[in-house]
Chain A
Amino acid sequence: MATTARSASALEELNLTATKPRSLWGDAWRRLRRNKAAMLGITVVLLYVLVALAAPWLAPKNPVAQTSNNSLRPPIWVTDNPNRQPNPEHLLGTDTNGRDILSRLIFATRVSLIVGVVPQLIIVVIGVGVGLVAGFRGGWVDNLLMRLTEIVASFPDLLFIITLTVAFRETLFGKAFNGLLLIFTALAVVGWTSLARLVRGQVLSLKEKEFVEAARALGIPTSRILVRHILPNTLAPIIVAVSFSIPSLILAEAILTFLGVGMRPSVDPANPLPTSLGQMMTDGFNNLSSGPWMLLFPVLMLSTLVISFTFLGDGLRDALDPRDAGR
């Protein structure tokens, strides 16, 4: 009798552990943690965030401070050119104006990270809003919104962004925050279409599901159904889309700046955002023969950041949608 009781309680215990609630997000986090590339990506991204936040304390020099007779010094390990000897004070060398490359790199990560985040927030608001309304309302609203999406999407995005930035570059708006405000706006105005399509597709299939029908039968208002029942179910694909879109925004800033319609460099020593990686690459490209390190280091910085985001995005996709894992 005693043995049966004990085994019953053991069974109960087993049962308890077996039914321990496992949420979608807990599962996803567990899968993500097992993914080495994704964890490496997260680590590097967090490292960049730290560097960006602590830039004034990390940077050995002021990023815009120029010293005379100190231009185009190579990195300290490059000693093969007798005419251009490295200066031990500048680990990664100096640019054409004698400014410290390492300090500029550290400050430039700030702009790259901000460009990845701020327009992304606007994109999520527009894209999710349009997608939810179009998918849920259907009919002429859907038709109108999707035609609008199609038109915006059919315009080659980069060309659209360039046109916008060129048009407003000389206005007060275009000069705000060294031109960053204009870049944010242009990137967001053009970038929301794929997210809107994604969310609309999700909503179209979700609104036929029984739980939405049940909610509607209970008389729950539409706005509440959208926010409480449909939106949470579209969250996983949105997160994946966002994690892939951040690196493309970071690259877009570099491309725009390279084409001469992006960020403006600042010479104000107190400016918290004096330069961007795109700006540094442009300077480097224009001085390729005299100082290739000016191009090399920002390219390496940007590549590392972008690849880390991609690893993270791949990991998130595999973790949140295990059906596709391993593809």
Chain B
Amino acid sequence: MTAYILRRILWQIPVLVIVGLLTFGIAKMTPGGPFDTDPTRRQMSPQVEAVLRDRFGMDLPFWRQFTRYMFLDVVTDPKTGEQGIRWGAIGGNFGPTYSSRGARTVQQELFGDRGGKPSRFYYSARLGVQALLFAVLLGIPMGVLAALKQNTWIDYLVLLTSTFFVSLSTLIVGFLLVLIFASWLKWFTVLPNWNDPIRPWILPTIALGSTSLGFITRLTRSSVLEVKRQDYVRTAQAKGLNDQVVVWRHMLKNAVLPVITILGPLSAALITGTLYTEIIFQVPGMGSLLIEAIGKRDYSMIMAGALVFVFFLGLANLMVDIAYGVVDPRISYK
């Protein structure tokens, strides 16, 4: 088990490096640099641009730019003349952002607090966790209920709603929620007030969690239906255990196993879903920051965003695998 986890963590490193290389390469191929966004606006003076290009090392060869961003760079202290190592992305240093002309670093933008307000990362992470909890805590009971009441109207209703959620994706569900609850019923304001601890979170959480909710409900239902026919369930019923014990102790424990396996892919959907959920509901998180960065061709921010997203995706998959091994003792990792 330990060896397996270790190998999985090690495999993450080449994945991250390749992802970094891809984004970096694509960003460099992009015509137009970060300092010449709009030709109609006032242009930067060539001297300033030269200083900036030097600061960002933009005239270095490609591989040097990449390694100093990704791994490390040997820097000389201008005052003491001592040489030291400055870590790159693998040390959590994503460098200065282009859009701030180097005044702020990417990690400050992503994780630092902004004048007393919580960080960008806090908003995205909280939204993601809430959405996942919403999906799991509502999806499993709904799936169990549908399976136990198979072929009744409850079952059909649950199936239909979950099919809608699965096929419509977060974008459409988000639009529908905005249209119904903000535009029509006016229960929520379109412009959220983030000082309120609960209200502005409700709609984005539902929208982001809806796809996962649909998947989890459908999967729980089908796996409970399969478990229901197993011999050990019949044995449990035959020896006179009451229904509650059979359902919660014997059936559910086996039925949730497949649900755990899809939490990995679902967290991928949740992570990318934050990109547009945050824009629809104007959440000041990492997703909306990243989209802004794309518009401004802020390479360092785009790359950092991609790396952070991929990192959390790998982490989520790893945690799912470990959880699976813990819950199901039949599984052994080699």
Q: What residues of chain A have their CB less than 8 Å away from a CB belonging to chain B?
A: 150-151, 154-160, 162-164, 166-168, 170-171, 247-248, 251, 254-255, 258-261, 281, 285, 288-289, 292, 295-296, 299, 302-303, 306-307, 309-311, 314, 327
Asked whether, in the complex, the Cβ of B275 is within 8 Å of the Cβ of A158, the reply is yes
Asked whether, in the complex, the Cβ of A299 is within 8 Å of the Cβ of B172, the reply is yes
Asked whether, in the complex, the Cβ of B31 is within 8 Å of the Cβ of A302, the reply is no
- For the A-B complex with A155-B19, A158-B275, A254-B172 known, give 20 more contacts whose Cβ atoms are closer than 8 Å: A154-B15, A154-B314, A156-B313, A159-B275, A159-B305, A163-B302, A166-B297, A166-B302, A167-B27, A247-B167, A251-B171, A258-B171, A259-B279, A259-B291, A260-B291, A289-B183, A292-B184, A303-B172, A307-B167, A310-B167
Closest A residue by C-beta to B169: A251
Stretch at the interface among B56-64, B173-181, B193-201: B173-181
Chain A residues with Cβ under 8 A from B291's Cβ?
Answer: 259-260
CB within 8 A of A151: which of B15, B184, B272, B309?
B15
Most B CB within 10 A of own CB, among A163, A168, A260, A281:
A163
Asked whether, in the complex, the Cβ of A255 is within 8 Å of the Cβ of B171, the reply is yes
Taking the closest CB of chain A, its distance from the CB of B310, in whole angstroms, is 6
> Please, how many angstroms separate the alpha-carbon atoms of A108 and B297 in the complex?
30
Asked whether, in the complex, the Cβ of B179 is within 8 Å of the Cβ of A292, the reply is yes
Chain B residues with Cβ under 8 A from A247's Cβ?
Answer: 167
What are 21 A-B interface contacts by the 8 Å CB criterion?
A151-B18, A151-B19, A155-B310, A156-B268, A156-B309, A159-B272, A162-B294, A163-B23, A163-B306, A166-B26, A171-B31, A258-B171, A258-B276, A259-B275, A259-B294, A285-B178, A288-B182, A306-B168, A311-B163, A327-B222, A327-B225
The 3 A-B pairs at the shortest CB distance, nearest first, are namely A310-B167, A158-B272, A327-B222
Asked whether, in the complex, the Cβ of A288 is within 8 Å of the Cβ of B275, the reply is no
Asked whether, in the complex, the Cβ of A289 is within 8 Å of the Cβ of B306, the reply is no
Chain B residues with Cβ under 8 A from A154's Cβ?
Answer: 15, 19, 310, 313-314
A-B contact count (CB 8 A): 116
User: Is B92's beta carbon under 8 Å from chain A?
Assistant: no
> Please, how many angstroms separate the alpha-carbon atoms of A39 and B241 in the complex?
44
> Please, how many angstroms separate the alpha-carbon atoms of A288 and B178 in the complex?
9
Given contacts A159-B272, A159-B306, A314-B163, contact A288 B183 (CB under 8 A): yes
Taking the closest CB of chain B, its distance from the CB of A33, in whole angstroms, is 20
Chain B residues with Cβ under 8 A from A296's Cβ?
Answer: 179
* Chain A interface, >50% SS class: helix
Most A CB within 10 A of own CB, among B18, B167, B225, B294:
B167
* Chain B interface, >50% SS class: helix
Number of chain B interface residues as a range: 35 or more
User: Is B252's beta carbon under 8 Å from chain A?
Assistant: no
CB within 8 A of A299: which of B176, B272, B276, B309?
B176
> Please, how many angstroms separate the alpha-carbon atoms of A289 and B182 in the complex?
10
Taking the closest CB of chain B, its distance from the CB of A98, in whole angstroms, is 22
Asked whether, in the complex, the Cβ of A309 is within 8 Å of the Cβ of B167, the reply is yes
> Please, how many angstroms separate the alpha-carbon atoms of A96 and B161 in the complex?
34
Chain B residues with Cβ under 8 A from A281's Cβ?
Answer: 175
Closest B residue by C-beta to A313: B167
Closest A residue by C-beta to B226: A327
Asked whether, in the complex, the Cβ of B169 is within 8 Å of the Cβ of A248, the reply is yes
B:25-60 near A, CB below 8 Å:
26-27, 29-32
CB within 8 A of A166: which of B18, B30, B172, B271?
B30
User: Is B263's beta carbon under 8 Å from chain A?
Assistant: no
Taking the closest CB of chain B, its distance from the CB of A27, in whole angstroms, is 23
User: Is B190's beta carbon under 8 Å from chain A?
Assistant: yes
> Please, how many angstroms separate the alpha-carbon atoms of A124 and B30 in the complex?
28
Chain B residues with Cβ under 8 A from A311's Cβ?
Answer: 163
Chain A residues with Cβ under 8 A from B280's Cβ?
Answer: 285
Asked whether, in the complex, the Cβ of B314 is within 8 Å of the Cβ of A155, the reply is no
Chain A residues with Cβ under 8 A from B169's Cβ?
Answer: 248, 251, 255, 306
Asked whether, in the complex, the Cβ of B167 is within 8 Å of the Cβ of A299, the reply is no
Asked whether, in the complex, the Cβ of A156 is within 8 Å of the Cβ of B271, the reply is yes
User: Is B301's beta carbon under 8 Å from chain A?
Assistant: no
Taking the closest CB of chain B, its distance from the CB of A42, in whole angstroms, is 15
Asked whether, in the complex, the Cβ of A170 is within 8 Å of the Cβ of B31, the reply is yes
> Please, how many angstroms separate the alpha-carbon atoms of A88 and B309 in the complex?
50
Closest A residue by C-beta to B312: A156
Closest B residue by C-beta to A194: B265
> Please, how many angstroms separate the alpha-carbon atoms of A140 and B29 in the complex?
31
Asked whether, in the complex, the Cβ of B168 is within 8 Å of the Cβ of A295, the reply is no
Asked whether, in the complex, the Cβ of B18 is within 8 Å of the Cβ of A156, the reply is no
Asked whether, in the complex, the Cβ of B190 is within 8 Å of the Cβ of A156, the reply is no
Closest A residue by C-beta to B305: A159
> Please, how many angstroms separate the alpha-carbon atoms of A191 and B162 in the complex?
24
Chain A residues with Cβ under 8 A from B168's Cβ?
Answer: 303, 306-307
Closest A residue by C-beta to B314: A154
Closest B residue by C-beta to A261: B294
Taking the closest CB of chain A, its distance from the CB of B35, in whole angstroms, is 15
B:256-284 near A, CB below 8 Å:
268, 271-272, 275-276, 279-280
Chain A residues with Cβ under 8 A from B247's Cβ?
Answer: none
User: Is B295's beta carbon under 8 Å from chain A?
Assistant: yes
User: Is B22's beta carbon under 8 Å from chain A?
Assistant: yes
Closest B residue by C-beta to A296: B179
User: Is B131's beta carbon under 8 Å from chain A?
Assistant: no
Asked whether, in the complex, the Cβ of B179 is within 8 Å of the Cβ of A254, the reply is no
User: Is B213's beta carbon under 8 Å from chain A?
Assistant: no
Chain A residues with Cβ under 8 A from B30's Cβ?
Answer: 166-168, 170
Closest B residue by C-beta to A256: B276
User: Is B164's beta carbon under 8 Å from chain A?
Assistant: yes
Chain A residues with Cβ under 8 A from B22's Cβ?
Answer: 155, 160, 163
Asked whether, in the complex, the Cβ of A170 is within 8 Å of the Cβ of B294, the reply is no
Chain A residues with Cβ under 8 A from B183's Cβ?
Answer: 288-289, 292
Taking the closest CB of chain B, its distance from the CB of A305, in whole angstroms, is 10
Asked whether, in the complex, the Cβ of A310 is within 8 Å of the Cβ of B163, the reply is yes
